[in-house]
Amino acid sequence: MKERRMLSDRRFPRRRVAVLLMALPIALPAYLGLGSNNASALNRLSSQGVRTQLTAGMKLQLRGANVRASNVFVLGTRNGRRFYRIGISTGSSCFAVGRASAPRSRPFGLVLCDATAGLSSQRPVMAWASVEGTQRGVRRVNLRSIEGFATDDVVTVEFRDASGVVARTTVSGNIFSFSLPQVPSDSGHLVAKDSQGNTVYTEAF
């Protein structure tokens, strides 16, 4: 798996901060057995989005992340965040997110590129968290929000801790985003479900 690169708006992907800041190897998330029999839908990302101009600013940002883009599509906007799919010369895709209000010269806050082309039946959700520290000198980190991309078969995404469901959202257009009420990191799991309520993916956050 390639590095996750380019973090300019301080939204830190869980388990991927070290890669972005220190170029260290990442730790792969643990996968559970899939609860859905519809493996083809777990492989698809049907939302085509709207093709947007590949600007000089985009090219400059992507070049800094060693990504040679052939086209860029906007998949949608959620909670003030814009989601992108980036076609690259190898025929696979990268994914990006940035503030909807960001200038066209620097639209991307985070770009993710996987050697396996990202989303698949083994990984139907690609998600990361926005985090914040608490008091000075206190090392605990709170999760503020979680956002990401999901394949067609994923209908809902929720965050659970020991008390149950903390937050839940519906996936629309293969993207999702939701806020969390100051949840400590390493305190729960992201759970993705299909239309039958089956759990198709989980990842610790």
Specify the pLDDT at position 91. 72
Flag whether pLDDT at 57 surpasses 80: yes
Choice between 77 and 34, residue whose per-residue pLDDT is larger: 77
152-173: pLDDT as tens digits: 999 999 999 988 999 999 999 9
Same domain for 144 and 181, yes or no, is: yes
The token pair that represents 203 in the structure block: 């990842």
Question: Average pLDDT of the chain?
Answer: 76
- Asked whether residue 58 falls in the same domain as residue 100, the answer is yes
Choose from 40-44, 96-100, 139-143 the range with maximum mean pLDDT: 96-100
Fill in the DSSP letter of residue 155: -
Residue 10 has pLDDT above 60, yes or no: no
The predicted structure's pLDDT at residue 42: 65
State how many domains the chain has: 2
**pLDDT tier, 135 (very low <50, low <70, confident <90, very high otherwise):** low
Q: Are residues 81 and 147 in the same domain?
A: no
> Which strand (E) or helix (H) includes residue 175?
strand 175-184
Cα–Cα distance between 164 and 149 in angstroms, integer? Answer: 23
The average pLDDT across 51-70 equals: 90
Least confident of 15-29, 49-63, 160-174: 15-29
Residue 40 resides in a domain: no
With a threshold of 0.85, does the pTM exceed it? no
Do 108 and 142 fall into the same domain?
no
Output 76 or 12, whichever has higher pLDDT: 76
**Residue 64 within a domain:** yes
**pLDDT for position 27:** 26
Question: pLDDT value at position 150?
Answer: 94
Mean pLDDT (whole number) for 18-43: 34
- Rounded to whole angstroms, the Cα distance separating 131 from 14 reads 9
More confident residue, 43 or 85: 85
pLDDT score for 35: 32
Residue 57, φ and ψ in degrees, nearest 5 = -65, -40
User: Of 112, 145, 166, which marks where a domain is finished?
Assistant: 112
Q: Do residues 43 and 151 make contact, with C-beta atoms less than 8 angstroms apart?
A: yes
177 is a domain residue: yes
Sheet holding 199-204, edge to edge: 164-170, 156-161, 188-193, 199-204
Q: What is the pLDDT of residues 136-148, one digit of tens each?
A: 555 667 888 999 9
Structural domain including 96 reads 4-28+46-112
63 with 140, same domain: the answer is: no
Alpha-carbon distance of 122 to 134, in angstroms, equals 35
Q: Are residues 107 and 146 in the same domain?
A: no
